[in-house]
Amino acid sequence: MNAAARVLVVDDSPTMRGLITAVLRSDPEVDVVGQAGDALEARAAIKALNPDVVTLDIEMPNMNGLDFLEKIMTLRPMPVIMVSTLTHRGADATLAALEIGAFDCVGKPSPGEPHPFGDLAEKVKAAARSQRQYVKPAAQRAPATAVADFRVGRKIVAIGSSTGGVEALISVLQKFPANCPPTVITQHMPPTFTRSFAERLNRLCAPVVEEATDGARLAIGKIYLAPGGDRHLRVANASAPHCRLVDGGPVNGHRPSVDVLFDSVAELAGRNAVGVILTGMGRDGAAGLLKMRHAGARTIGQNEKTCVVYGMPRVAHELGAVEQQLPLNAIGEEILKITAARKEGSE
């Protein structure tokens, strides 16, 4: 049996610290070794306790969570899980934290929520096991790679990701030209965060990136991100492909689910599709990617070395769903190679 994951809980609210601590202590494989109410207390606790993982509130007195996270990643790199309010402001700050190097995020629960913090304990354990090399973040992101004379073909691209997916998706999509193939994405993320993430991707990438809406037509040069919440993203109608937001229970514990998206792409596009599974906990998307491959689609999995969590891609690889495993920095170019129109102009 592995040693328990040792966690420091940082939040300015004693009530919230107590709730997080209670949720984590309900898992015998998690050991809450300390609590801190602000960045100064947290800094001292990290030095004294040497935790495996820190949960960190975004908004704190003296020094906010983002500023403190940057100091952690510079001076003492380690896995940090951000705890944020489910607001637009909270989402923007959390997405910035994920780009700085935070392992993952969770939303603060609403009053009366029956299962507050959901899978926080699982995220803490995954963070403690993570082989990720934590390094000082770059001062600024490199500009999008220019793609000369890309001629888009007729394929649809479907991408699934979870923990570590914010940075992974930015890395992949920044390689896309403005006339990229129609692309649909399911990224596991708390409700209200996906709109902010789509807006962030739209600023960073050459194509148009938007949160998917029911009935939105798939078009060249557009990328559609599944909204977080209570519906799944599917694609439908082979003659005029478009997004469908459908009701349904969680699949593999997630809604929206990558498997639901991949299943629909397999049925709709068959060999005229590319499926990509990126870093993430669990197995969501593995079976759907296998269905895509059996339908004739090309399939790519992120390799273990470049994953924050080699969960979803590992299961997909073990099932035989992955045609080729690639490092993160090679995936964008490979998608373009597969989806480019042939020189004679047909596919």
Q: Are 134 and 251 within 8 A, CB to CB?
A: no
Catalytic-role residue among 162, 171, 196, 264: 162
Mark whether 162 is an active-site residue: yes
Amino acid at position 270, single letter: G
CB-side exposure of 225: number of CA atoms within 13 Å?
Answer: 30
Q: Round to whole Å and give the CA distance between 303 and 324.
A: 9
CA distances from 145 to 109, 158, 173, 261, 327 (A): 39, 21, 10, 28, 17
What's the token pair of residue 247? 């009701």
The CA distances from residue 315 to 282, 283, 289, 290, in Å, are 8, 6, 10, 10
Altogether, the residues listed in the chain come to a count of: 347
Query: Annotated catalytic residue: which of 161, 188, 196, 259?
Result: 188
Report the C-alpha gap between 165 and 129 in whole angstroms: 17
Q: Is 188 a catalytic residue?
A: yes
Residues 289, 252 contacting (CB under 8 angstroms): no
- Cα–Cα distance measured from residue 304 to residue 76, given in angstroms and rounded to the nearest whole number: 24
Q: Catalytic residue among 11, 52, 104, 284, which?
A: 284
Tell me how far the alpha carbon of residue 37 is from its chain's centroid. Answer: 28
d(CA 224, CA 261): 12
Q: Which residues are catalytic?
A: 162, 188, 284
